[in-house]
Chains A and B, each alone.
Chain A
Amino acid sequence: MVRAAVDWLDSRTGIRAARAHLLDEPIPAGTGWRFVTGSVVLFLLAVQIVTGVVLTMYYVPAPDHAYDSIRFIMDRLPFGSVLRALHVFGASFIVVAAIVHMVRVVWLGSYKKPREVTWLTGVVLLLLILGFALSGYLLPWDQKAYWATTVTINVARSGPMGEYVAGLLRGGSGLGPLTLLRWYSAHVFLLPACLTGFVIAHIYLMRRHGISGPIDPVAGPSRPFYPYHALKDTLAMAVVFAALIACAVTLRAPLDAVADPTDATYVPRPEWYFLSLFQLLRYFPGPLEPVATQGVPALVVAFLVLLPFLGGSGRRLRDRPIVAAVFLVIGLGVTALTVMGLRDTPGHSASEGWNPLAVAGSEFVKDARCTTCHRAGGAASAITTLAMLKDPDWLLSHVRDPQIIAPGLREPPAGAMSVGQAQSVLSYTRRVRAGKPLPPPMAADTRTASLIIGRYCASCHMIDGEGSPGAPDLTHAGRAHDAKWLHDWISAPDEIDAGANMPGFGSFLTEEQMAALVKYLAARK
């Protein structure tokens, strides 16, 4: 029955001959494990396609929803966090595997005549892979996405025709919904189409010229690809996949807080595979910047393109000293820059952790002014489940006086919050959106100090990048002043400086509260 069906299909399509042609490629004797590298890259690309297709079923490419859709994938979709981790770490695996493959090809001289065009398609594939990596990390619309893309677009601006290129990358006049959509489109339609075409060309050319095999012919008959070399390929894939799945199950794919264009504390850092370029920027300041952003990368790509036409005809490395030396210099340079980039502490937004405002906010939202409406079954969703999409100014007005924004409430909550309290609630809602609705356990007096800072201080002061600008930043209050001075100043500023703008808080705070606040601030060095 099955045989008859296959016979019929074969008579119409020649499927058996095609299968034989695919699997029976003669592989010269001595073609060993060094020749599995290409198959591993191909396999990892297939994993990216499978995981990527499933991710698009849940991802929404719009700035208002992208972050929350990724949070849903990470926190609530069954297998979602493993799925995304496979895709995120898979990208790193591909970059490594592609570089290993390239090094092997250079080492064994596999790109030499007649395989120059095979090499060139490989260079295009490497650039496409980097294009995938670059377009991929804008998509979550978290801090890293936003700021790394801002940097990428500004890098593009520094080159010739820079404004046009930047405009093309941005889509609009600023980084926003149009940018996200075109990067998404590139990531899921344009680049995969190009990738598919070049992969087919690369494999076709590999088959056309046959696998390059060992440099010195090894005696013995050639054997068919399947099952002898296919087994080596499969085992290599299994090892790589085991490593990938182990990473995906044990490590969480990174996701910062949601993109915040006003955050001045975030230090953007690219993925490790772009760190070398990032590091290079530091050595070419000011007008020399295009050397790092365009010049050096262009030279490297030019070298890769010219590589098959340089040097002697032999496949041995010692026959190609110049190629080997330049390749080695580039390799060492990229490695050294990457290591230096990694050694700098990674950038984190101050709003990642729990600062005093967020802690205070988590208390303030328990107030009846919030919970009258924001509760399960109430007029609005509970705050701990909210994804705030409104801009900070709207939120600030709403928190300070809910009636302004929601007129006509039957039982309007009485009283308004101070600016500091409203800033604290805002700070807390950012943590909620980042999937962290509960503050960590802390000492009682730290908690007391946080509440006071939220209620009073944050109306005029900034701390850890949040609060209100105007008065001095409290982030490092303990550096300039000791506990005694802080106590006296907060109690009655005009006794230290007759012209002080700050009101005295001696009469508002109990001795206990004052002690907790002073202790907390003095410890902030």
Chain B
Amino acid sequence: MDESEKGAPDADTKGRRRFLGGIIAAIQAAIGGTLGVVAGGAVLSPGLSRRDASWLPAGRLMDLAINQPTPVMLRLERQDGYQQVIDRHAVFLVRTGNGVTALDSTCTHLGCRVSWNSESQELKCPCHGGTYDRTGAVKSGPPPAPLARFETRVEADGRVMVQL
């Protein structure tokens, strides 16, 4: 602002200009803030919304081999904007006696899809060669964390339910 003070020599004028400038800034901030809440709210809110967890049927316990990760495809209906979309989640079910663990098939490194290699008895990621054992723990490669697990429960009639 220094250059703009030419021709306004006395301190009184300078103080007055600063005061008026403050009012302008305050009003413009209020306008911008209001517009920012509306526009920003509309931009940000869908990204922050979380969907409720839901229990999905994932087959029968008796069909699962013990200690062998079995891939199942879960279909999750979800409202996305103005349309209903169906997300397909690939999950590995591992039966441990009468209990079941559900492992997410998403590699924790960069999000590729892992698959079960029955010869080497490990879950292998095709992208960067990360491997996990049947409990989802990292065996080798770049993955920073074990595979994510979903809540499971076994119904009285033997149906396996997975919470996504």
A interface vs B, CB < 8 Å?
Answer: 16-17, 20, 23-24, 47, 50-51, 53-54, 57-58, 60, 65, 68-69, 71-72, 77-80, 82-83, 86, 224, 226-228, 230-231, 234-235, 237-238, 241, 245, 381, 385, 387
B35 interface contact, C-beta 8 A: yes
Residue total for B at the interface (Cβ-Cβ under 8 A): 27
Residues of B near A83 (CB, < 8 A) are: 38-39, 42
Closest A residue, CB atoms, query B16 = A227
B140 interface contact, C-beta 8 A: no
CB proximity of B95 to chain A, nearest CB, Å:
26
Besides A68-B82, A79-B39, A79-B45, 12 more A-B contacts (Cβ < 8 Å) are A23-B4, A50-B39, A57-B43, A65-B82, A69-B81, A71-B82, A78-B41, A79-B42, A83-B38, A83-B42, A86-B35, A224-B8
CB proximity of A325 to chain B, nearest CB, Å:
39
Contact indicator B24/A238 (Cβ below 8 Å): no
Q: CB < 8 Å: which of B21, B35, B38, B39 contacts A226?
A: B21
Contact indicator B42/A54 (Cβ below 8 Å): yes
Bound form: Cα–Cα A23–B45 in Å: 37
B9 interface contact, C-beta 8 A: no
0/1 string, B1-24, CB within 8 A of A gives 1: 011100010000000010011011
Contact indicator A387/B82 (Cβ below 8 Å): yes
Bound form: Cα–Cα A502–B72 in Å: 59
Residues of A near B17 (CB, < 8 A) are: 227
B117 interface contact, C-beta 8 A: no
Most buried by B among A47, A50, A65: A50
Q: CB < 8 Å: which of B4, B37, B45, B84 contacts A381?
A: B84
Q: CB < 8 Å: which of A60, A69, A238 contacts B31?
A: A238
Bound form: Cα–Cα A143–B14 in Å: 58
13 A-B residue pairs with Cβ-Cβ distance under 8 Å, sorted by A, are A16-B3, A68-B82, A72-B81, A77-B46, A79-B37, A79-B42, A83-B39, A227-B23, A227-B24, A231-B24, A237-B27, A237-B31, A241-B31
Bound form: Cα–Cα A77–B45 in Å: 8
Bound form: Cα–Cα A70–B4 in Å: 48
Main secondary structure of the interface of A (DSSP, over half): helix
Bound form: Cα–Cα A245–B36 in Å: 13
Residues of A near B3 (CB, < 8 A) are: 16-17, 20, 24
Contact indicator B82/A227 (Cβ below 8 Å): no
B30 interface contact, C-beta 8 A: yes
Q: CB < 8 Å: which of A16, A68, A230 contacts B24?
A: A230
Within 8 A of A (CB), among B29-75: 30-31, 34-35, 37-39, 41-43, 45-46
Given contacts A50-B39, A78-B42, contact A231 B23 (CB under 8 A): yes
CB proximity of A519 to chain B, nearest CB, Å:
41
B83 interface contact, C-beta 8 A: yes
CB proximity of A19 to chain B, nearest CB, Å:
8
Contact indicator A82/B38 (Cβ below 8 Å): yes
B163 interface contact, C-beta 8 A: no
Contact indicator A234/B28 (Cβ below 8 Å): yes
Residues of B near A228 (CB, < 8 A) are: 20
Contact indicator B38/A86 (Cβ below 8 Å): yes
Bound form: Cα–Cα A77–B43 in Å: 9
